[in-house]
Chains A and B, each alone.
Chain A
Amino acid sequence: MPDPILHSHGLEPFLSSISSATDCAEQPGIRIGIEPGLCHINLRGDPGSVEFIDAVNSVLQQDLPLAANTMTTGNNRIYWLGPNEWLIISSLEKDKDRVTNLRESVRGQHACVTDLSGGQLALRINGPHARDVLAKGCTLDFHPSVFHSGHCAQSGLAKTGVLIGLLDDGSEFEIVVRRSFVDYLAHWLQHAAEEFGVEFSVI
């Protein structure tokens, strides 16, 4: 059974709040979606080992991104975190046994599988002003020629450590943040996006 905390995302107070700009504008400049109940797995291992790559591939049915600052999508969203570290995000309901399966597949190897589902939360951010709002609190370059789809980076957003990735069609960002910081980050986003209009929703 998943822990009950996974069913509370902590952003309930924001769902009813609508900023003043949204009242007059037809379309909010930025939409923030909360996707609760996701499975977050941190995976570490040697990308140079064929045995490791094969074992992980057999469970995930998806390639690990080996190039820096990239991600792959498919059954899961797999983010490159470092030269031997990845974050795998997938639907919790679908993948209840994923942590166990992954751990079994790399047993005996110099590798590590850690379940982070209870510690992290993912926000989806889209809308015409998504890049403008992120640029207010982050030193990364969000120009489309630099931050394109499939690109990801760990950085600071309003001084909070985050992982930011741009999903498939290049219009939606996923922001992974520690659960204990999500209330702070949501307040910051709400304030930073006020001039464009902001809308919170559950996906």
Chain B
Amino acid sequence: MFLIKCPFCGERAETEFSYGGEAGINRPLDPDALSDVEWADYLFMRKNPRGAHKELWNHAQGCRRWFGVERDTVSYRISRSFELPAGDKGP
């Protein structure tokens, strides 16, 4: 069983969670000011690293909160999970 630690509920099985993609991608405050290239970069481009990756998870069958996880994409080892900064409620 793959366990993920929810910062609110504790360790739970992976089946309770849903994945939310790369963390830390904020919607531009003024989208009209962006060029097509910049907008496409925000919309589509992701790091997809081999190794440490900061990502968003939602505890869908639990407290239903979004939170962040730092996971190694090779070993799947989760080094830490963290609450999102105030004001950032996830996607």
Contacts and interface: CB of A to CB of B under 8 A. Distances in A.
A153 to B, nearest CB: 7
Contacts of B9: 68-69, 153-154
A38 interface: no
B15 A154 contact: no
B63 A154 contact: yes
Contacts of A68: 8-10
Contacts of A154: 9, 61-63
Given A154-B63, A156-B61, A139 B8 contact: no
A146 to B, nearest CB: 11
B10 A69 contact: yes
Nearest to B11: A141
Interface string A144-156: 0000000001111
Contact of A139 (B12, B63, B64): B12
A82 B63 contact: yes
Q: Is the interface of B mostly helix, strand, loop or mixed?
A: loop
Contacts of B16: 139, 155-156
Interface string B49-91: 0000000000001111100000000000000000000000000
Nearest to B1: A139
A82 B65 contact: yes
B15 A81 contact: no
Nearest to B62: A154
B66 to A, nearest CB: 11
A158 to B, nearest CB: 12
B34 interface: no
Contacts of B8: 68, 82-83
A139 B62 contact: no
Interface in B30-59: none
A85 B12 contact: no
Interface string A64-105: 000011000000000001110100000000000000000000
B15 to A, nearest CB: 6
Interface of B: 1, 8-10, 12-13, 15-16, 61-65
Given A68-B8, A155-B16, 7 more contacts: A82-B63, A82-B64, A83-B8, A139-B13, A153-B9, A156-B16, A161-B61
